Amino acid sequence: MKSFLFLLVFFCSLSNAQTNRFFYAVKFKEDSTQTEYQKVFMVLDINPDETKYYDNAFLEKDSINKANGSQNTNWTSQIPITRKKNSNKNISYTFIDDQLYSYPTEDLIQWKLSDKTKKYLHFNLQQATTNFGGRKWTAWFTKEIPFSEGPYKFTGLPGLIVLLEDNRNQYSFALVKSKKLEKTSDTSNFLEVRYGNKPLPINEKMYVKKALEYYNDPLQEIRAEMKSGTIKSYEDGGKRYTKPEELVPLIREEQEYIRKHNNPIELNKAIQYPLK
């Protein structure tokens, strides 16, 4: 009876809400060799015309900014995604250096439904599997939440994805809570535009090129300003650098960090950074 009442209340919420917001606990390894998982909470907003997936930290920072009248920003290692309703065409948003970029991809996911079922959070779940992004995935979805949606780019099942995990045990998603918003949530100031920083539209090939350019010389602008005399010095970690050539160890450290933290959800799209 409790489960029935829970679902009844939930369905009433779905029928009246303008934004259906779902929160996922995400565990992942940016470095595939690390033993401990990083953990974040991600938000899935299902609106009348589009779906948005982004870090819960965006919401928290936006609330603080509104309360303080500030424009402070942060970013996330998890790429935010937007897509139109019933579409497999996604827009990804990412920062490279200080520039925000957006680029489209078309991501048709072919699911194989299983007869396996289980219970989770009062819901009856059914299993589905797919190969996507160089990984094998197992999803558990529920028809009791009638949205053909899920976290990141995962969509196309006959119900909301509640649990999702890859076969390498490097990424997992678990629905932890939901809420309804009476009005469609406006994320335009912290997702589609980062507090006035409009994204530069590019394609995915150009994104890879920009990422490689940054990797090859992550302090290029600082070094150029030091050479031109625009700045006299640069400070990092409590140490002051006065000559461009002194920045070489910092450049090597950044390149090593980038190479190690290169385990994206779509493993087949991991950028091949050359060893420097």
- 76 and 179 co-located in one domain: yes
37-49: average pLDDT: 96
Q: What are phi and psi of 144, to 5 degrees?
A: -75, -15
Q: What is the mean pLDDT of residues 53-69?
A: 76
pLDDT reading at 32 higher than 80: yes
Domain end residue (candidates: 158, 192, 226): 192
Check whether residue 41 and residue 167 sit in a common domain: yes
Domain containing 109 equals 2-192
Given a cut of 60, is residue 205 above it in pLDDT?
Answer: yes
* Within a domain: 156: yes
Dist CA 178 CA 58 (whole Å) = 17
188 shares a domain with 94: yes
Question: What value does the mean pLDDT take over residues 32-38?
Answer: 91
pLDDT in tens, 257-275: 999 999 999 999 999 999 8
Looking at 192, 223, 238, the residue that finishes a domain is: 192
Q: Is the pLDDT of residue 9 over 50?
A: no
Closest by Cα among 87, 45, 18 to 190: 45
pTM here? 0.89
Cα separation, 247 vs 118, in Å, equals 55
- Asked whether the predicted pLDDT for residue 122 surpasses 80, the reply is yes
Indicate the burial class of 167 (C-beta count within 10 angstroms; 0-12, 13-18, 19 or more): exposed
| One domain for residues 88 and 220 | no
